[in-house]
Structure 1
Amino acid sequence: MKVWFRRLHLVLALLSGLFLVSLSISGGLLLYAKDIQAWINPQYWLVEDKPNPLKKAYLPLSELVERIENKTQQKVLIIEQASQINHSWQARLANKKYLNINPYTGEILLEHRFYDTFYGFVMSWHRWLLYTDEQGKTPMKVWMSIASLILIIEIVFGVYLWLKPKHRLKRLKVRWRAKNRVLLHQLHGTLGVLFALPLILIAFTGMTFQWQAQTKAIVQWLTLGQVEQHTFKGKVSDSKNNFQLDKAYMNAKSALADGSVYRIYLPKTDQQPLALRMKMPQESHGYSWSWANPYSGEVLSTFNAGKASWTTQVWNFRYKFHIGEFIGWPVKVLWLLISASPVFFVFTGIYLWLKRVKVRQHQQVRENLKRAKR
């Protein structure tokens, strides 16, 4: 049985190796992609302080939207606020272009397609290997999820191979002065066991973005609960009155006063509300919502995900867990090391296999020579 698990472990590594290496490298870059692009082109991603705009208040939402639409002649659909006061905001237009804007002055710092940025490029590499067909679909996306699933199976097989013999804990010891083949074999096994659980969870949370229904069912089964979702499907009824965007924004924000605004979804039609996606103090990311009538300013509905069920909290935590943005920078550094580990496992696994093949060939040659002498 052990021999068959070892062979399956090898075959799966050979079949998925290139995908896993790609996921590993792009995933590591994605952890710091936003920081890298801000460092390379700070004039697009950071707000300059000449004169110091950080001492000023943000422009009223209505004025910010008006300035953008006058300059671009395009309707603003979404505005994403930055979590740091010296970072630019992003706006998405009706023509699917993005703008980096100064929220203090309304100045447009950069107009771009999302996947033309460094962060967007790395994300498309990580999720679908940069390939988009003529219909605009990304067929490689499912294969990246399949590779993640294979990685989970690989880890389970590897842990089984570690558990099978005796003296398991002793075999976690690494002899740094051993020969290369022995050293790499020990590192391969030891790091595989140490990184097994976080790697499985990182791979699984990555799969949730492709196979949402299936992975959600697994989370619900494990946590014995249901994921709560709330959307406002009603229509506004005062569309003949004057647009009161600032009043609606302030009321919607005040309805979840302890939260911070993450994204602003402006009405696409006269019958749609203003929607705020918000992050509550109990949340790792913005999953709470507040809806308001943009004509009367009336708050229509709210959803505080910070007070949702345990199952919902676990499900919502998957994004921040996947990218290592929780607790602080030490976790992110650790996630970088863990993200790089599949590259090490693939290459050391293939190296050790080739070494075994070479040893077997030498043994076969010696046996043939012995038989010839007889």
Structure 2
Amino acid sequence: MSALIATRRLYFVHKWSSLICTVFLLFLCITGLPLIFKDQIAALTNTDPPFAQVDAGTPRVSLDKLADDAHARYPGQVITSFLIDDDEPQVIVYMTPSWKTFLGPGSKNHSLKFDAHSGALLNDSTVPANPGSAFMKLVRDLHTDIFLDLPGALFLAVMGLLFVAAIVSGVLLYGPFMKKLDFGTVRAGRSKRIKWLDLHNLLGIVLAVWTLVVGATGVMNELSTPLFKYWNRTEVQAMLAPYKGHPVPVRKDWVSPEQVFNTTVQALPGHTVMLLFPPGNPFGSPYHYLAWAKGDTPLTSRLFTPVLIDALTGQITDKVKMPPYLRLLEVSRPLHFGDYGGMPLKILWVLLDLSTIVVLVSGLYLWLKRRSVRERRLAVPSLQPSSVNQG
């Protein structure tokens, strides 16, 4: 009896966790398909000039030169940050008319994308984006937070947890369901509903490991944003707190951005600088550069270390190591989109995604069919009295 009760409870968990999250999981599976090929789509729709063809080992253009070029194009404006891309040979310089216009409504922030080797300007964000990049941004925003920012991300994280519960309960139910059948049996000679039930169970158990990995890493991806912000507002801001409210030194007295980049890389072997905030940035310090360093290998490239560098001396003042829970979350990101094994893995991810859509649709179909059958059965006794009276 206890085994029967446990099975019924598992069925209850599987049914309702699946029903609640199915529509949203279908939505995420569909929007996730183009994101698997986001790099290839970006390459096809990119209208920027091509990157310069250079020999391997060609050094990157100095950040100082790019800063001078950005100020020459927009005199009097402020550089808010540098993004040094290690996936593509590009450096993006972010600017704003003044720190007063940097945050809040009405901000006029923009960016300049430079070729990392030639220093040529590839894109000015004040020019409207091409339709391809706008479409991918739309899909990415739908997939990550359905245009609701943090509430949307947390809602999708809850849907992901329900999906994980549905997978685990489904795996535990598969044994009792198949105890009188061979593994993988699809009873093709039975009714359409029975055939779909067997196919649903077969695909579900075959895809269990993959769906569990993608579901769990999807939850981690949704949680990483608020947790990263929490870490930034606690440990990182604690590092910056002693310097808040101080005046920003005159810019001509600062050490150069390129010197800060080199100092950080030399102090952290095996790292590179991805993001650099000049002094005065509200997310940094009035008289420090804030460098966000990360590992230079595929595994460590998602692990960040914020470093404070004195703008007047060029010396490192402090650094904070990413906490273990964030390190785990960041390392899990590539598993979600399968973007660490080249095109063969991307194609495999697409096939598994499409198979998951079949599982979700078949589960919804089976529930609707079962409900329809039950309603017909309940309707039969209600017809009997009238039939007798008519006779």
| Contact 2:156-2:222 at 8 Å conserved across structures | no
1:334 aligns with 2:348: yes
- 2-structure distance, mates of 1:155, 1:81: 40
- CA deviations 1:321-368 (Å, max 9, x no partner) are 333233554444333344444422221112223444555567778999
Moved more, 346-355 or 280-289: 280-289
SS in structure 1 opposite 2:37?
helix
Letter in structure 1 aligned against 2:157: S
Structure 1 SS opposite 2:183: helix
State which of 317, 322, 339 in structure 2 corresponds to 1:300: 317
Match of 2:50 among 40, 47, 52: 47
Residue type matched to 2:62 in 1?
P
Distance 1:34 1:324 in 2: 12
Answer whether contact 2:67 2:93 (CA < 8 A) is retained: no
State the Cα distance separating 1:299 from its structure 2 match. Answer: 2.8
Name the CA shift for 1:359/1:279 in 2 (closer, same or farther; >3 Å): same
CA offset at residue 125 of structure 1?
A: 0.5
- The offset of 1:123, in angstroms, is 1.7
Other-structure match for 2:83: 80
**Number of equivalenced pairs:** 350
Shift of 1:248: 1.9
Unaligned runs of at least 5 residues, structure 2: 97-107, 229-234
Task: Verify the 8 A CA contact 2:221 2:329 in the aligned structure 1.
Answer: no
Structure 2 residue 25 is matched with structure 1 residue 20: yes
Deviates more, 1:325-334 or 1:354-363: 354-363
Computed over aligned residues only, the root mean square deviation of the Cα atoms, in angstroms, reads 4.1
* Other structure's SS at 1:249 match: helix
CA contact (8 A) 1:128 1:140 kept: yes
Structure 1 counterpart of 2:40: 35
What TM-score does the superposition give when structure 1 sets the normalisation length?
0.74
Q: Distance in 2 between the 1:237 and 1:249 partners?
A: 23
- Note the C-alpha offset of 1:99: 3.7
Query: Structure 1 regions of 5+ residues with no counterpart?
Result: 132-136, 217-228
Q: Is the 8 A contact 1:280 1:304 kept in 2?
A: no
**1:34-77: CA deviations, max 9, x gaps?**
32022112x32x6343xx45676432111112212332454232
Q: Which residue of 2 aligns with 1:124?
A: 141
Is the alpha carbon distance of 1:250 and 1:363 closer, same or farther for their aligned partners in structure 2, counting shifts above 3 Å? Answer: same
Query: If you compute each CA radius of gyration, which structure gives the higher value, 1 or 2?
Result: 2
* Aligned-residue identity in percent: 18
Local SS of the residue matching 2:302: coil
SS of 1:260's partner is: strand
Contact 2:277 2:290 in 1 (8 A): yes
Please name the residue that 1:226 is paired with. none
Q: Secondary structure at the match of 1:171?
A: coil
Separation of aligned partners in 2, 1:143 and 1:108: 38
What's the offset of the Cα at 1:8? 4.8
1:351 equivalent in alignment to 2:374: no
Q: 1:295 to 1:178 in 2, by over 3 A?
A: farther
Alpha-carbon distance change, 199 to 193 in structure 1, aligned in 2, over 3 angstroms:
same
- Indicate if the aligned counterparts of 2:224 and 2:326 stay in contact, CA closer than 8 A: no
Alignment-derived partner of residue 278 in structure 1: 294
Q: Does 1:152 align with 2:164?
A: yes
1:221-259 deviations in Å (ceiling 9; x for gaps): xxxxxxxx7774365999467222222221112222332
| Alignment partners' CA distance in 1, 2:17 and 2:197 | 18
Are the structure 2 counterparts of residues 89 and 25 from structure 1 closer, same or farther at C-alpha, using a change threshold of 3 Å?
Answer: farther
